[in-house]
Structure 1
Amino acid sequence: MTQQLDLFADLASDPAPVPATFAAPPKPQAVKQAPRPKAVPTIEPSPQQPRRSSGPRPVREPHRRALEIGEAVAARWHNLHGGTAIEVPIGVVAALCLIRQKDLQGPDLKEQILNQDGPQLICMLREIWSTHWLHRPDLIDRARILHEWLNDDVDRHREHAVRAITETALRQGLLDLTGHEDPYLRSATDVLSPVMTSMRSHGAQKGLGEYHTPAPIAEALSEMITLENLADFKLALLPPKQGMHLHDPCAGSGGLLRAAAQRIREHGADPKNFQWSMVDIDPIAAACAAVNAIVWELGPRVTVACADALANPKAVEDAMKEARAVFEHRDEVFGKASAIAGIRKMQRLLESIAA
């Protein structure tokens, strides 16, 4: 049977090494497409599920569609009296942004997800986050506020709310924005920004000083920035020079850098060959920026810090140190797991010989 849930198309069977962001900057290389290894299967489709002939199609007015998704998710959550834990619905949408359909000729991914009951859906969300943690523990750890609630027992009420949010986001066309194989199409808009801002009251946004740059303005700015300068780095000639560091000290969910990455692709370069850093004082915004860095495929040299950029000018450097520690922890966990698996394999072999 065809497996449809592609948790991360670039996910290797072994954990990824520490990104070059946390070591010496790599020398610029020619742009080329990296091979895509096999994905990790998760959902067993039913033979009765409808089949599709093509994948998601580019959406007209993607920014408007993203806003509609954000408003619909917020309305559904509040109608269900979901409570003040807005990281739950935002985390659900963020997890769904990290998946896409592997077999374009196979059963429809959206219907596969919607056919799951509450406990199955919770298990799927946990697996999405844990699988991505193996590949980018630094970014998934930065997004911890969006998924740490899954570490606890999820009661029936929250289970029902999570199911409703999943249904709302998918029915509103989330996968039409984020389910593309092509990162350029996946980066057409920032879905998490309107979800986050719609979930918060006007007073909460004002108190946080949170004003996200509208996507069209971000794109216009990025066009000028690409031609002029970005984050103190002169970009006088096109295309942008590979290896350059692009930084946003008040990044929100990363909208400006998304637009910059799109311009870089349009000029024939690859965002993976650049260095990216984002800082935001709001933990949820920083978490969304970390998820977006994966969705938009900004590459291995991405750092997301949750800090006050004015009070801590070394926020990015501190975040790099934290990231190194997270990678070391990941490698330690994976090493122990591999050792245990080896011991069990040997035990089974000895038992078979003894039998």
Structure 2
Amino acid sequence: MGHERLAKSLHQATARYGASGYLIALTALATANVLLGAPTSLLAPTLRRLAEPERVVGLTRGLWEATTGHFGYLAGRVDAISGWLETAGEHEVRALAACFEVLAGVELHASFDEAGGDLLGPVYMSLRGLSSQQAAGAFYTPPDLSVLIGAMTMPREGAHVMEPCCGAGGMVLGVVKAMRQAGADPDTCTWVLNDLDPVAVALAGVNLAAHGLSRVVLCVGDGLLLGTGLDGDPLEAAAAAPGSQTRPRRAS
């Protein structure tokens, strides 16, 4: 299923219960994203179990706790897409369950492959709508172009790589894919992702986690300040945060 059709189906599923906004649909899709390592024979039944309204909140929160426990860089960032679960009302709960029911009927592995490994970004853009994209300066880069650019700008193993305007991480995934195609290990690099949009940063982190990357720093702030050391630099704030073990710098 194409990302525009999927976005429309998820939107219709939430609208059926009077739920507004796009976070419910993104929470469901991001949760499915972290389950992509499961074979198709297990993924669909798992999503159908999540589609049970009486279980959906507890199971979804449990999955995110396990995921952030393994990928520590997601802690505090995925709240932008899953924090609403803490105060979810009946309509929102039923809308989330309906989104999981939609996803259970989609061949997600094929959809993610078709999108170059990043289905979250284009669905997010579709849900926001074109006028919102233009206002935010956010546009989706086709996966083939991302891989091509990644091959042209491929970092060395062990490099610190900064993406000051990461969106949902599609361009970074293009670099990751290009490195793996060239026989290089992208997990030796430290990936520093920043964006003004906290939802996009959360989706980017989920994308990198789903692709098995462990050395990641997620920042929310003005990308023009990234790595400058000036007051308000999002990277300086991330490096100074409790638990930070590395101080990324600009790759040469």
Q: Shorter-chain TM-score: which interval?
A: 0.7 to 0.9
Residue equivalent to 2:250: none
Q: In 2 relative to 1, CA 320–175 (structure 1 residues): closer, same or farther, beyond 3 Å? A: farther
Structure showing the higher helix proportion among its residues: 2
Residue equivalent to 1:308: 222
| Residues 1:120 and 2:39 aligned together | no
How many residues end up aligned between the 2 structures? 239
1:143/1:287 contact within 8 Å kept: yes
| Residues 1:156 and 2:69 aligned together | no
What is the deviation of 1:156? 2.2
Residue equivalent to 1:295: 210
**Which secondary structure state, in structure 2, belongs to the residue aligned with residue 279 of structure 1?**
strand
Is the radius of gyration larger for structure 1 or structure 2? Answer: 1
Question: Which residue among 174, 177, 181 is the counterpart of 1:259?
Answer: 174
Residue equivalent to 1:132: 67
Compute the TM-score of the two structures, normalised by the length of structure 1: 0.61
Q: Which amino acid aligns with 1:191?
A: L
Q: For residues 305 and 243 of structure 1, what CA distance do their matches in structure 2 show?
A: 20
Q: Which amino acid aligns with 2:33?
A: C
Compute the TM-score of the two structures, normalised by the length of structure 2: 0.83
2:34/2:210 contact within 8 Å kept: yes
Residue equivalent to 1:94: 30
Q: Which amino acid aligns with 2:105?
A: R
The residue correspondences of 1:32-43 to structure 2 (distance < 5 A) are none
Residue equivalent to 1:58: none
Q: Which amino acid aligns with 1:298?
A: L
Cα offsets for 1:233-276 (capped at 9, x unmatched): xxxxxxx5310122211110111110100011111111111111
Residue equivalent to 2:191: 276
1:280/1:307 contact within 8 Å kept: yes
**Which secondary structure state, in structure 1, belongs to the residue aligned with residue 149 of structure 2?**
helix
2:195/2:223 contact within 8 Å kept: yes
Q: Which amino acid aligns with 2:82?
A: H
Q: In 2 relative to 1, CA 170–321 (structure 1 residues): closer, same or farther, beyond 3 Å? A: farther
Residue equivalent to 2:142: 214
Which stretch shifts more, 240-249 or 312-321?
Answer: 312-321
Q: For residues 77 and 114 of structure 2, what CA distance do their matches in structure 1 show?
A: 21
What is the deviation of 1:155? 2.5
Q: For residues 37 and 213 of structure 2, what CA distance do their matches in structure 1 show?
A: 20
Q: For residues 241 and 114 of structure 2, what CA distance do their matches in structure 1 show?
A: 28
Q: Which amino acid aligns with 2:54?
A: P
The residue correspondences of 1:37-76 to structure 2 (distance < 5 A) are 65-76=2-13
1:72/1:169 contact within 8 Å kept: no
Cα offsets for 1:115-164 (capped at 9, x unmatched): 45212122110101111122223313212111111122x32211211111
Cα RMSD, aligned residues only: 2.6
Specify every segment of 5 or more residues in structure 2 that has no aligned partner in the other structure, as ranges. Answer: 246-252
1:286/1:306 contact within 8 Å kept: yes
Q: Which stretches of structure 1, 4 residues or longer, exceed 6 Å deviation after superposition? A: none
1:146/1:287 contact within 8 Å kept: yes
Q: For residues 235 and 195 of structure 2, what CA distance do their matches in structure 1 show?
A: 11
What is the deviation of 1:224? 2.0
Q: Which amino acid aligns with 1:262?
A: K
Q: For residues 196 and 153 of structure 2, what CA distance do their matches in structure 1 show?
A: 24
**Which secondary structure state, in structure 2, belongs to the residue aligned with residue 92 of structure 1?**
helix
Q: For residues 169 and 162 of structure 1, what CA distance do their matches in structure 2 show?
A: 11
Q: For residues 71 and 37 of structure 2, what CA distance do their matches in structure 1 show?
A: 21
| Residues 1:194 and 2:122 aligned together | yes
The residue correspondences of 1:20-31 to structure 2 (distance < 5 A) are none
Specify every segment of 5 or more residues in structure 1 that has no aligned partner in the other structure, as ranges. Answer: 1-63, 179-184, 227-239, 327-355
**Which secondary structure state, in structure 1, belongs to the residue aligned with residue 161 of structure 2?**
strand
Residue equivalent to 1:243: 158
Q: For residues 308 and 281 of structure 1, what CA distance do their matches in structure 2 show?
A: 6
Q: For residues 253 and 78 of structure 1, what CA distance do their matches in structure 2 show?
A: 24
Residue equivalent to 1:322: 241
What is the deviation of 1:204? 1.7
Question: Which residue among 85, 107, 116 is the counterpart of 1:173?
Answer: 107
